[in-house]
Amino acid sequence: MNALIRPAATADTRALDAQLLADESKYCSFGDTVHYSEPPKIFARCDGSWLFDAQGTPFLDLQMWYSACNFGYANPRLNNALKRQIDTLPQLASQYLHPTKIELARLIAQDAERKWDAPGRVHFNVGGAQSIEDSLKLVRNASGGKSLMFAFEGGYHGRTLGASAITSSYRYRRRYGHFDRAMFIEFPYHFRGPKGMSKEEYGEQCVAKFARLFETEYNGVWDPKAQACEYAAFYVEPIQGTGGYVIPPMNFFSGLKKVLDRYGILLVVDEIQMGFFRTGKLWAIEHFDVKPDVLVFGKALTNGLNPLAGIWAREELINPQVFPPGSTHSTFASNPLGTAVGLETMKMLAETDYESMVMKKGAHFLEGLRDLATRHPEIGDVDGLGLALRAEICEADGYTPNKKLLDRMVDMGLGGELQHRGKQIGLVLDVGGYYKNVITLAPSLHISSEEIDLGIALLDQLLTKAKRA
């Protein structure tokens, strides 16, 4: 593990970090920043599953930029695709065409057509939230201008005004208002659901509650005379990301889709965090046997090298007659650096059996987490699908959310003071969940078996230390 070899810490690097922190507090907007640790951590280098600070301390990263970096930091194949594109056609205005945009759109659309028997098209933009905005335009347009959406409690779709209107947290809207806030529907979060019900039964109950909204006009969403719903689409994350990697029962989305089809409501699947094999399939929704009308992707498409995101939609929703030139535009959308890396990602995914690899590594990681839970009663729930894994941190009763304990764990992990083979080492974790007490684990899909075991050992050390503190 030569990634662990590090240069001696110098007083210079510490002084430089201190100066950078002082400048950050004075000159950087905090609007896009959450400082999870105090002082905030500055990193200098990355490689594979590892981040390094200026002192050379290695940190095992188990969140990989919230899944933007599924294929490991500094992935040589994807980095080289970017370097090649820099040397050939790095810039081009979007009214002109370049090959990788077309090839990437073709690969995504052909894959969707094969899986869902639906011809469609791909439209790129510069980030997840911007692509969510594009999808909102599509479904508003397709529904004759309806501006209301269904979405889930615990759902997250981004922070632009349109995306935060369909994101459940009021916190993101409180200061800024919203465009037509979604109606937020209960998601089958089984661990915190009603007692005495199986996961499947709870999923069925959630679908039944949703279906009940259409029983009478007095429930506020359906006009039985006109046979029309006031809501254009339902926005779903197949596995809730920011909501705490909540995995619904496998029969949930097929049940929900039946209701949507009955009332003419479109299904928009947000794969921004769970796409690109995070859960062992290209798209997480493939686990659930339903066909999306619109699919939104981002993050890992370029392994975090370029802010490229996009949507795929069925032909009826996106063909040039209904979504003509000028419908939306951003200067950097489908920029050649992003599409070149995205194309390389898709080729790489087609050449290796990512499904078997991710499911195998995920099972190994989950087994380690389950074993850890037997030694730490504070781990109230563990679950996983592929390499999207969760560990819910609670009081010793294994149920009451313990955000404080998890905050201490995150702090200590970023403090870089854990031990491995007599050396200092750190751990990078992400926090999510309805009560902000869930470790949302999204390791590199290329993580080695030894690194998984090390990750579990470091979580063990961290929990032991944090409980004592």
Ligand X SMILES: Cc1ncc(COP(=O)(O)O)c(C=O)c1O
52 interacts with ligand X by CB under 6 A: no
CA–CA gap between residue 12 and residue 18 (Å, rounded): 10
SS3 374: helix
241 interacts with ligand X by CB under 6 A: yes
346 interacts with ligand X by CB under 6 A: no
User: Residue 322, class by beta-carbon neighbours within 10 Å (0-12 exposed, 13-18 middle, 19+ buried)?
Assistant: middle
With CB under 6 A as the contact rule, the residue among 58, 154, 158, 238 that binds ligand X is 158
Q: Nearer Cβ to ligand X, position 298 or 455?
A: 298
Q: Which two tokens stand for residue 273?
A: 């965090």
Q: Which stretch binds ligand X (CB under 6 A): 38-46, 237-245, 332-340, 448-456?
A: 237-245
237 interacts with ligand X by CB under 6 A: yes
Closest to 268 in 3D by CA, of 304, 318, 222, 221: 318
Compute and round to an integer the Cα radius of gyration of the chain.
23
Q: Nearer Cβ to ligand X, position 300 or 359?
A: 300
128 interacts with ligand X by CB under 6 A: yes
CA–CA gap between residue 115 and residue 109 (Å, rounded): 10
CA–CA gap between residue 74 and residue 78 (Å, rounded): 8
x/- mask, ligand X, residues 352-391, rule CB under 6 A, reads: ----------------------------------------
- Find the helix or strand (DSSP H, E) in which 254 lies: helix 252-262
Helix axes 76-88, 336-351, angle to 10 degrees: 140
* Helix extents (H) in 94-160: 99-116, 128-142
In the complex, the smallest distance separating the C-beta of residue 395 from ligand X, rounded to whole angstroms, is: 28
Strands 148-152 and 183-185 come out as parallel
124 interacts with ligand X by CB under 6 A: no
With CB under 6 A as the contact rule, the residue among 48, 58, 127, 426 that binds ligand X is 127
In the complex, the smallest distance separating the C-beta of residue 296 from ligand X, rounded to whole angstroms, is: 7
Q: Nearer Cβ to ligand X, position 66 or 214?
A: 66
Q: Nearer Cβ to ligand X, position 128 or 362?
A: 128
- φ and ψ at residue 388, rounded to 5 degrees: -105, 105
With CB under 6 A as the contact rule, the residue among 70, 100, 125, 273 that binds ligand X is 273
Q: Which stretch binds ligand X (CB under 6 A): 135-143, 156-164, 227-235, 317-325?
A: 156-164
CA–CA gap between residue 81 and residue 338 (Å, rounded): 10
238 interacts with ligand X by CB under 6 A: no
Strands 222-223 and 228-229 come out as antiparallel
82 interacts with ligand X by CB under 6 A: no
What amino acid is encoded at 187 in this protein?
A: F
**Dihedral over alpha carbons 59, 340, 275, 62 (to 10 degrees):** 0
CB 150 within 8 A of CB 185: yes
x/- mask, ligand X, residues 284-313, rule CB under 6 A, reads: --------------x----------x----
CA–CA gap between residue 370 and residue 114 (Å, rounded): 37
Q: Which stretch binds ligand X (CB under 6 A): 235-243, 313-321, 323-331, 412-420?
A: 235-243
406 interacts with ligand X by CB under 6 A: no
Q: Which stretch binds ligand X (CB under 6 A): 108-116, 268-276, 364-372, 434-442?
A: 268-276
134 interacts with ligand X by CB under 6 A: no
Binding site for ligand X (CB under 6 A): 66, 127-129, 132, 156-158, 237, 241-242, 270, 272-273, 298, 309
